[in-house]
Amino acid sequence: MPKLEGFEFWSHTLGGARHVVAPMVDQSELAWRLLSRRHGAQLCYTPMLHAQVFVRDANYRKENLYCEVCPEDRPLIVQFCANDPEVFVQAALLAQGYCDGIDLNLGCPQMIAKRGHYGAFLQDEWDLLQSMILLAHEKLSVPVTCKIRVFPEIDKTVRYAQMLEKAGCQLLTVHGRTKEQKGPLSGSASWEHIKAVRKAVAIPVFANGNIQCLRDVERCIQDTGVQGVMSAEGNLHNPALFEGRSPAVWELAEEYLDIVRQHPCPLSYVRAHLFKLWHHTLQVHQLLREELAKAKTLEGVAAVSRELKLRCQEDMARQKEGENPAGGLPFFHWICQPYFRPGPKEGSKENRGAGSKRALEEEESNMDVLSKNKQKKQLRNPHKTFDPSLKPKYARCDQCGNPKGNRCVFNLCRGCCKKRAFKEMADCPGHGLLFKTKLERSLAWKAAQPRLQDPQQAGPGESGGLPEVLGGALA
């Protein structure tokens, strides 16, 4: 059967999916996908997988895809991050038998993506992206799709989308934020960018951003003309979002835990999901937040969830008629509802400067009250201090900035020193690298060995004379 493309792929293979669960690292695992599908999701993506690790590590393939095969979990698109055409295609070939499409992540804005040179940090390398999509389109038996972030300029975003379409992308998901819009600086997604892309390409487009309830889904489709809408954070706080329902938190928490018992996943995933689902309740019952964080087993996590349910039912019993939800929430805390991330001016400090994670950590270290994370560390080690002035100061490597060796002859860290010493065939006693010494020893040993004679120079009476030996034997 020939590979379906564009709208045929969307309408036949994906069933005309309009309600889509986004790829989320450590969060869109099989159990969560099954829960979301039960509540209105029509298409799901796997968490982002690293193409290079997927190719070289059989256990990684097994844990993240092969062992998660489930007939109910279709249609399914597997997402990879990659920056090499050959590696991307090798990973996709290993995964294509377990999914309906392969997605290239061009939207991750996190610092780890910058260090690894993937995600949104490839969006200026159009030649590389063209070669990756083109090769995948030629080699794979399933369609290749892309998830992107926008540029500040609409026209550049449109040209970017058209370039991907021309290279062979069969479905495009557009997150209406730039790569700089993340964390406290997320702001609103631009549906104008998404609308412009939808008008400019001849392949299906999914919209991502500003989706907190079913009304947002319907309004986004109407305003932008996209074929479907993808939700990430909205889905994490209310998996019934695509049903248009806001059920009691414990209803979905209990259902999710039941699915996890059938389809196990790491406990860290489960705990993270419950922190999202119970987010608003944990602001009220903060002691149970610590209990949930300390739980070491699935049953321990389930016990905390049951206790939260009991606390909520007690709060419901005390609720007065006509009482409004506290804290400006649209619903009472025990109801699944959106979480609106505070902007930089709405946080605990009036002005957080650049708003970077490191800047926030430095500010917190100067505060009298430690953050919860630091309080946990201090519980484990009462003598621990977070005063930056008491931290040991390390001299930096001249090349990479890591701590250098105190006795390194090149003033480098061990990794950089090893490369330089090998290149220059030199020694560094400080790092125990003896390339020059070993070379000299090797040459001296070779010089001391007796030289083997050339068989052609051997005399007639010597054992090396093969003709004479044979002649004597024949006589």
Is residue 311 within 8 Å of 285, Cβ to Cβ? yes
Number of helices (H), then strands (E), in the chain: 21, 11
Is residue 34 within 8 Å of 41, Cβ to Cβ? no
Angle value at C-alpha 333, between 327 and 335, nearest 5 degrees: 135
Amino acid at 440: E
Amino acid at 200: A
Phi first, then psi: what are they for 124, rounded to 5°? -100, -5
Residue 15 CB partners (closer than 8 Å, separation 6+)? 42, 43, 75
**E strands in 101-198:** 101-106, 144-149, 172-175
Instruction: Measure Cα distances from 374 to 142, 187, 250, 415 in Å.
Output: 47, 28, 30, 32
For the annotated catalytic residues, the residue numbers are 108
CA gap 146, 158 in Å, rounded: 14
User: DSSP assignment of 347-397, as one string?
Assistant: SSSS--TT--HHHHHHHHHTSSSPPHHHHHHHHH-TT----GGGSPP-PBP
Q: How far apart are the first and last CA of the chain?
A: 78
CA gap 84, 374 in Å, rounded: 39
CA gap 122, 104 in Å, rounded: 11
CA atoms within 13 A on the CB side of 188: 5
